[in-house]
Amino acid sequence: MNNDLIDEILNKIKSHIDKIYFFPLEDSEIITIQKILGVIFPDIYTSYLKKIGLKQDLIEPHKYSELQLFESEQDFIDQKDFLQDIIENNAEIYFAFGHNGCGDLFLLKRKEENDNYIYEVLHDTGEIIKIDMSYSDFLRCEVNLTLDSIDDHKKNENKKWSVQFSLKTDSENNIITVLNQEFDANLSEDWEFIDESPAKVREFHKKLMINQKEFILKKLEYENWENPNYFFNMEESLNQINDSMIKKLHNLFSKHQYLGYKLIDYGIL
């Protein structure tokens, strides 16, 4: 039945596929997230991830606009310890799949609980509230509302995935060394001083070339920081997503913990 629901949704949107984007997860990616959280997802959520995924603009909450869905593996990681802290003994039953932007999390129960309802946990009290809505009903409602407003959607060819690669390491040479494991990368010779903030944070820029594409590597320095902060931005057309440099860079940086790497995902714009 759960597979039937996701297939029903995909069939309903197929005539609008030029305006709706989704990027299904591989089985291995789903298994990795489950291992991180220590839960088995209910079938409906597994099917959703496998056929629609996290990076998507099909489910953009309208009626339930306070529910902001997780968009990356990092979102699950960032909220795991927080969820365990606020609900303590009940943490092994639930996992978070969204938030309201104000600290409260939206939860589903693990597969063994056989419960398809959505719950909300209040960040200040740890109180868990059962929402009078199943996850299946949430999907049906939001897909219908997306289709009601489909004329206002941009075509996928005009959408871009925008991210920032953030790194904290003692030298930019570490970044170049890692990049050159899989890419052709180099930096211009000298840092260009840009500005110093009132808090004495100094900003510098260098030209960064990756496979003959030019980016600006930015460096922030402050005398009390152990390491500088480095970052650079990247945009990709959705037409490139199946051979995504963003994903390749993310996977590469993630293998090297000493880089202090974090992906800041601005989403599909």
Q: Determine how many CB atoms are found less than 10 A away from the CB of residue 226.
A: 7
CA distance 187 to 217: 9
Task: Answer yes or no: do 131 and 212 share one domain.
Answer: no
* pLDDT band (50, 70, 90) for residue 119: very high
Sequence-ordered list of residues with C-beta below 8 angstroms from that of 67, at least 6 positions apart, any chain: 61, 98, 100, 106, 118, 138
Domain span including residue 190? 159-268
Quote the DSSP letter at residue 42.
P
Task: Answer yes or no: do 146 and 163 share one domain.
Answer: no
Supply the CATH number for residue 49's domain. 3.40.1580.10
Q: What are phi and psi of 121, to 5 degrees?
A: -110, 130
Question: Which of 152, 179, 206 is the C-terminal boundary of a domain?
Answer: 152
Quote the DSSP letter at residue 221.
E
Across the strands, what pairs with 74? none
pLDDT at 62: 65
Task: Answer yes or no: do 93 and 144 share one domain.
Answer: yes
**pLDDT tens, 220-251?**
999 999 999 999 999 999 878 778 999 899 99
Q: Determine how many CB atoms are found less than 10 A away from the CB of residue 96.
A: 22
**pLDDT tens, 3-18?**
689 999 999 999 999 9
Say if CB 169 and CB 253 are below 8 A apart.
Answer: no
Percentages (nearest 5) of helix, strand, coil residues in the chain = 40, 30, 30
**pLDDT tens, 160-172?**
999 999 999 999 9
* 203-207 contact pairs (CB < 8 A, 24+): 206/172
Task: Answer yes or no: do 128 and 212 share one domain.
Answer: no
Rg over CA atoms, the chain:
21
Give me the sign of the Cα torsion angle 251, 257, 261, 265.
positive
Task: Answer yes or no: do 85 and 142 share one domain.
Answer: yes
Supply the CATH number for residue 186's domain. 3.30.310
Q: Determine how many CB atoms are found less than 10 A away from the CB of residue 223.
A: 7
Structure tokens at 84: 């365990």
Q: Coil, strand, or helix at residue 184?
A: coil
Question: Which of 152, 182, 204 is the C-terminal boundary of a domain?
Answer: 152
Task: Answer yes or no: do 55 and 25 share one domain.
Answer: yes
225, exposed or middle or buried, with CB in 10 Å at 0-12, 13-18, 19+? exposed
Q: Is the pLDDT of residue 1 over 60?
A: no
Nearest by Cα to 206 from 161, 258, 250, 171: 171
Task: Answer yes or no: do 106 and 181 share one domain.
Answer: no
Number of domains in the chain: 2
Across the strands, what pairs with 6? none
**pLDDT tens, 40-94?**
999 999 999 999 999 898 987 666 678 889 988 889 988 888 888 888 777 789 9
Task: Answer yes or no: do 127 and 205 share one domain.
Answer: no
**The residue count for the chain:** 269
pTM (2 decimals)? Answer: 0.78
